[in-house]
Each structure stands twice: as C-alpha cells, then as structure tokens.
Chain A
Amino acid sequence: MWSIYKTEQRSVEGSEAWELSKRFPFAGSHDGVNTVFVATLPDAVDPFILPSELPNGDALSNDDQAVIAAKWLYLQSDKALWLTKSQALMLFEHPAHRLWCAKYNNDQSDQFESDYNYVGDFLRSVNSAVPWPEFSVQLTPESARGLMLQGLAQA
C-alpha cells in the first residue's frame, strides 16, 4: 500500500508524514499540495482507505475512485489516504490528475483539451448542474483546475 499526506504535514514534528519522511526523505509531490509515499506507516491513525468496490461487491470505476480520492484530498486532513500501488498508478494516469496538476506545456494543448472535456463530461454526468464552460484557447490550466474544484464540490 502507498499513502498520501498533505505536504505541509511533513514538517510537523511527530506527525505520520514526518515519520515517513525519515524513511523517504525524497518523497515527492506531483501537485505541490500532497506528498506521495510508496509505503504506509503501520500504526497510522484512521487512514482513509480508497475503496475499489462498493459494499455490495460491485467494482467502482476508475472515474468513481478518482472522484472519491479527489474529494478526500480536498479535505484539509492530517490523516493518510491509503491506496494500492495499482490504484496510485491508475489515478496518476487519470485525466483529472493531469488537470489538477495543471502542468501542460505548449505542445500538450490537445491533451489539455481532452482532459478538460473528459472531466467535464464526467462531472456533468453526476450532476448536470455543474457549470462547465466549453473549452477555449483562452482557458488556462490554472482556471480549469479551479473549475474542477468547484465541480467536485457539487458532484
């Protein structure tokens, strides 16, 4: 299992992220807000374990897992998000993750547009009232990130 903590927690002496940082001093962050550790702290308190299926056993889609993870990470919790390596790899490849990280270069405008439309279609499938303007060349990755945050709050 891997774990994700708020990056700011790493400097809080005695915190779980601080403990894990001693073993993984170069653990990194894709988005500048959350730090990824390729392990878990055995005695972590009340970690949120990212589900891969519903209580009835039905599998959750990648999109569903991405929304659950995003909503949890949006909370300012000092607790860990635990997820399997395969879930971490899936989330890393998910359009919502790229949109959240907002690191597109000039050659990736097609990727940006594709990710934006993918996330918008999904959010509006959950709640058709989510405001999601049509993609335009004026749209910046930073503004798209803001729209996604607003949409997640309503999804």
Chain B
Amino acid sequence: MPVFDPAFDISYEAGSFPPAFEIPTFPASVQRYITSLSAAGLMYYSLNDRVLINSGDDFEFESDILFDSNGGHVLTEKGGGTSRFAFASNGDVYIGTLKIGTISNLGVLSDNKLHKMVVRQISNIFTISFDGNLGLTYNQAIPVLRIDALGSSIDVATGIPYFSGILKDAKIWTGGDRNNGTLLHMPIDEDWKTSTDLHDAEGNVVGSAINITENEADFYTLIDDGTAWQSATRTIQIAGGV
C-alpha cells in the first residue's frame, strides 16, 4: 500500500503535474466468494422466475463450471417437471429426456479446474463448448427448456445426481445470443452468512440458495495473473488461464 509522506507534499497547480512524475498504479486485487455445491447435500440455486426457452428459440448460457466425474444437472425445472440440461457420468448430454449426444472428454474436463462452458442454440443449431473448444453439436432444435433452478436433480431415475462442484458467473441470454439477447447475469458470489438470497449483477434478488450454508462459500483472491483463485484452504486453477 502507498504511504502518504507529508514531507513529500508538493503542491502543484491544477493540471500541472510535472511530466516526469507518474502516479503509481496499484491494481486492486480481485476478491469474491465462490460456492461449492454438493450433490450429497442436494444443493442448488432456485430461481424466482422461470426462464422459458421454447424449442427453436435462440439462447445462450455461459458459466464458469467445475464439475466432478459423476456429471450432474446444470439447468433444471422444479416441481416434478422433466425439463433439464444435464450431463451423465459417461458424458451423455440430456435435454429433457432426450439424449442429444456425448461429451467424449468429460473425464478430462472433470479435472478440478474451472472451465468456461458456453451452451447456445442459434438458428436451430445447438452447441456446447468448453474454454472455446467445441464439445458437441446437435443440428436440430432442442426440446423446450424450462429453467427454474441451477444444479438440482429432477424426478427421473436416470442416476444423474444433483450438481457437485462450482457454478459461478452464470449468464443466460434469451431471445438471441450474447450480442442481441436479453441478459440475466448471476455472479453467484454471495457469502450466504446472513441471507440465502441469490442476486443478479445489478443486486436484484432473483432466487435463493437451497440447502446451501455459509460453509459452502469461501473467500477467494484471483492470483497468478488471473490463472487461479485462492482461498485460505484451496486453490482453484482456471483452465486456459486468462
């Protein structure tokens, strides 16, 4: 931290800094809470308002994601519905009850690192990518997606559990993609100490944390030129770095 030294208090006329004098810049450290979900505890984020994506609608979903080899539900419908976007442990990808393909390297991706996952449907072509690399393409309109929750399981006996790992900085663009759609941005950076409210980037309450306590959130600092998050007990590498 810079220390103010009164002996070095030189007054200048407004706008007349000497050219040789450079104001040192100290990049502020980036810090935030990151929550780890546990399927064992049936943890998820519940949304107050349903995000409805009809078959054929353009949309885009992006999130930093760290998941284990069991796969899990990422986007789901509550209340006994069957709409969902989920990975099975063998990499199979489900939209609702429809298996649309297989992520062949799911095992590689469950490497305890944060990956940037982008899921989008534009002009009836559905794609999933990780860290900018295409993981799956489905050349048909997917079934309707009714999104009420991030991370929960639904009542179909598929053996796919709740989500275990991290979902952060979730962004959903509806009615288009990131360039022209309507954005719902959920940083998911709460500490859950006094409230289970889930906020969007503007601070509005958009949902709540279910079965999640402050024990699941740790305070992290971005380190190593932005290639990892570090808390007092854990370092999370960011795949692909900055």
B-binding residues in A (CB < 8 A): 2, 24, 26-28, 30, 36, 38-39, 85, 88-89, 91-93, 98, 103-105, 107-108, 111
Q: Answer yes or no: B92 CB below 8 A from chain A CBs.
A: yes
Stretch at the interface among B10-18, B110-118, B166-174, B211-219: B211-219
> Chain A nearest CB: distance from B64 CB in Å?
22
> Chain B nearest CB: distance from A98 CB in Å?
8
Q: Is the CB of A36 within 8 A of B158?
A: no
Q: Please name 26 pairs of A and B residues whose Cβ atoms are closer than 8 Å in the assembled complex, sorted by A.
A: A26-B42, A26-B210, A28-B42, A28-B162, A28-B211, A36-B41, A36-B42, A38-B38, A38-B211, A38-B212, A88-B38, A88-B40, A89-B38, A89-B40, A91-B40, A92-B39, A92-B40, A93-B40, A93-B70, A103-B158, A105-B159, A107-B90, A108-B89, A108-B90, A108-B159, A111-B159
A27 touching B42 in the complex, CB below 8 Å, given contacts A39-B213, A105-B157: yes
Q: In chain B, residues 34-48, which have Cβ atoms closer than 8 Å to a Cβ of chain A?
A: 38-43, 46
> Chain B nearest CB: distance from A116 CB in Å?
14
Q: Is the CB of A107 within 8 A of B40?
A: no
B141-163 vs A, Cβ < 8 Å mask (1 yes, 0 no) = 00000000000000001111010
Q: Answer yes or no: B88 CB below 8 A from chain A CBs.
A: yes
**CA–CA, A3 and B65, complex, Å:** 28
**Beta-carbon nearest neighbor of B88 in chain A:** A107
A38 touching B213 in the complex, CB below 8 Å, given contacts A92-B39, A107-B92: yes
Inside 8 A of A89's CB, which chain B residues have their CB? Answer: 38, 40
**Beta-carbon nearest neighbor of A104 in chain B:** B159
Inside 8 A of B43's CB, which chain A residues have their CB? Answer: 38
Which 10 pairs across A and B sit closest by C-beta, in order of nearness? A92-B40, A28-B42, A38-B41, A105-B158, A105-B159, A26-B210, A103-B157, A88-B40, A103-B159, A89-B40
B74-91 vs A, Cβ < 8 Å mask (1 yes, 0 no) = 000000000000001110
**CA–CA, A88 and B88, complex, Å:** 21
**CA–CA, A93 and B1, complex, Å:** 46
A-B contact sample (11 more), CB < 8 A, given A103-B157, A107-B88: A24-B211, A26-B42, A27-B42, A28-B42, A36-B41, A85-B215, A93-B40, A98-B159, A105-B88, A107-B90, A108-B90
A-binding residues in B (CB < 8 A): 38-43, 46, 70, 88-90, 92, 157-160, 162, 210-213, 215
> Chain B nearest CB: distance from A82 CB in Å?
14
**CA–CA, A57 and B210, complex, Å:** 36
Inside 8 A of B159's CB, which chain A residues have their CB? Answer: 98, 103-105, 108, 111
Inside 8 A of B46's CB, which chain A residues have their CB? Answer: 26
> Chain B nearest CB: distance from A86 CB in Å?
10
Q: Is the CB of B211 within 8 A of A27?
A: yes
Inside 8 A of B42's CB, which chain A residues have their CB? Answer: 26-28, 30, 36
**Beta-carbon nearest neighbor of B90 in chain A:** A107
**Beta-carbon nearest neighbor of B44 in chain A:** A26
**CA–CA, A28 and B46, complex, Å:** 14
> Chain A nearest CB: distance from B44 CB in Å?
8
Inside 8 A of A30's CB, which chain B residues have their CB? Answer: 40, 42
**Beta-carbon nearest neighbor of A26 in chain B:** B210
**CA–CA, A42 and B91, complex, Å:** 41
